[in-house]
Chains A and B, each alone.
Chain A
Amino acid sequence: MPSSTSSSETRPRPLKYIVGLLAALLIAQTAIQQGATWVMRHYGKNETRWAAERAAANDLKHDGKGVLLMGSSVLFSVDPDLLQKKMPDWTVRRAVMVGTFYTDWDYCLRRLTREGLRPDYVVIVALPFQIFGDSFRGDYLPLHWIDRADIHDLARDRHLDLTAETNLYFSSINSFFALRDDVRGALMNAFIPGHRSLIVLASAGTRVYSDAEIERIAGDRLVALQTRLAGQGTRLVVLRYPAPGMDAHWAVVERAAAARKIPYFSAIDYIDKKKFIDPYHLGEQGTQEFTTLLAPAMDAALRPFRAK
């Protein structure tokens, strides 16, 4: 059948081949999208975990003791079951948003509170650069964390061009498009040695912020978030997460929070580097230790507000 002499220039090709090609492309595209989305939804750790955390967070109602820990993947360093056990007077829930920054939490909280979530406290658990950095989760955001109605506001806030904004709208109607980064990551991790290490390396921040910039940006953001949450009867609290090498940035964020009367607390300022499995995340033992220390510190930080 293959013919090296058949020139595309000389032999007229009937329309049926075009229709066939378009059909093949459409079928293959649909199969990949549906298949990959189904696999990610049912077997993807992040997808199943988020669904469970989201459902659990729905229990939180204004009763003076509902606490939602929200933040980036460093929140994996908090064991929610152990924390709840150690804080019996509180209802503690965790919402880990992997690879996220302030913008992601902000829009996610807008969506979740609009959908009825009512925690008494939202405790932000993240790295300092995730509070003042200008990144966000990109096309994944509309899958769970932002309302379609808020996309235009996000585009305006983040100065996105029309292409990036259109992609976000597309993500809000096509789950595969939103998930494609995760699908690619899963495939690459499975088949290409060292992919995860390379990506961690590649995703390290590049922009350098001055202390004045950090204080201004972090302060403005925390105030904006606090104001928005206060409208729902919720109080914002910031936890200092003890990742190594972050002290200088935390000091500035703490100053910004203090100047604006945003509650800020620390469970422990320093944990031995050996207990981290990578620059940011604690291993199993470190997680248990940090959670054990976090419980009394958080209780002490929140209780004064509860009394009021």
Chain B
Amino acid sequence: MRKAAGLVSVFFLVILGSVSLHMAMAADSNPAAVEKPAGAPAQPAPSSHYLRYPNIAFKQKMTLAKGTGITKQAAQCIACHSQKTPEIVNDWSKSVMAHAGVSCFDCHTVSKDSPMANQKCPGVAGTDIYVSSLVSSATCEKCHPNEVKAFRQSGHARAAIQAVSQPLNQALLAHEDMNMPEFKDAVFMTGCAQCHGSQIKMDADQMPEAGSWPVHGIGTIYPDATVGNCTACHLNHQFSIAQARKPSACGTCHLGPDHPDIEIYKQSVHGMLFEARGAKWHWNSPPGGWQPMADYSAPTCATCHMSGINGLQPTHNVDLRLKWNLWAPVSNQRTGGFDTAAETFMKTGKLTAGNPLAGNPQGPEAARKDMLQVCAACHSTEFGQNYLGMADKQIGLFNKYAHAASEMIATLQKKNLMMKDPWADPAFRTYYYMWHHEGRRMRQGAAMEGPDYSHWHGVFELQQSLRILQAIYNQRIKTGKIDYNQTGGVGVGE
């Protein structure tokens, strides 16, 4: 009898529970009323000065207080754009930005005097509100000043300035588009700019010019004279920290024959562990709180080059832990302090070469100390020291090759034995491949544990190329003439 009474009461409780749950859900799925009508059913608190939206921030519904959360004007943007550009709004609604109440209005409105301002959007036409499809790092900087500052002190900030201003790059582009005006900008905008960034220009209609936009590059120069595109790694409109921590965020640019960094990572033991276990790692920990063992069991690019780990502060300056420049014709230690290109441009409007030896302002040894501190989060001190010590030797070895090659080129130039068009000259081509392709693979493979890139794609091809260059050199010095039938330099052994 007692048992039966217990069962009945449990049954009633279940019925009661499901009815209340059902009612709660029915109330939740109320149509997308922008402003809650006065006298609506008794929900806690909300009066007419609370706004309600569907699909904002993780949950089906989030209540935001007007004035502190999303304003009425901002709500209008969301309401209309969830019809016009539903994918963008949907993407944004899953972001931490949405969770914090940062919406279209906050990033896309600009002052009337901004060079990017227009009123193309019918929703703002004729009002006092001006918008821009471009969002420069000056906007991100308002809430993330330290991240943007550190980024602008890094080599990344030089990417577009260097691409649009260096005469050698421009000369190469002129060769590649065959100097034909109908193909103007094609090489740059489908190639260089998508990683390096472009200098965005506005047309007479106050829209970004086709020859300069759209562009995904990290160092993009915006019409408001600011440098940097945060969405290169934190893709819009989720701006995810998790996504930027994954190797693919870096590998979208750091790949290929001249800097196969994502390939090197994949070959390394770190990359192998990422492939095997990465799906289960915690990618969303806060900055500085993303820790080995607790959150992941092997580093990604971001871990070693940027993250707060083993007592180091997180940074957006990717040069801070680098001892060497591993991309130049000769590897020098990074003694230059911070990069200056972005700061100089933003202050004076001048496009400068920046600082190729940008690194840690306390010098290359401090940078190495920091990197060893990263290694020591998982390895013994000797492990890191011995590994990077051997990489130092391999870099030193590359410099020997580089000096041997550059001396030959310098002698030939002095004796007027180089062709006028360097890209037709087997001597120049061989030299170019030596430092720009084979030598970078050798150095970067050595520093980041990509044995195949350090050796077979690297130093092995480098010594082959040096022999080819030597033969060309010997012939030219011996005869005092250029033999136009000579070959060399186009991807020897590739």
A binds B: no
B residues at A contact (CB < 8 Å): none
A residues at B contact (CB < 8 Å): none
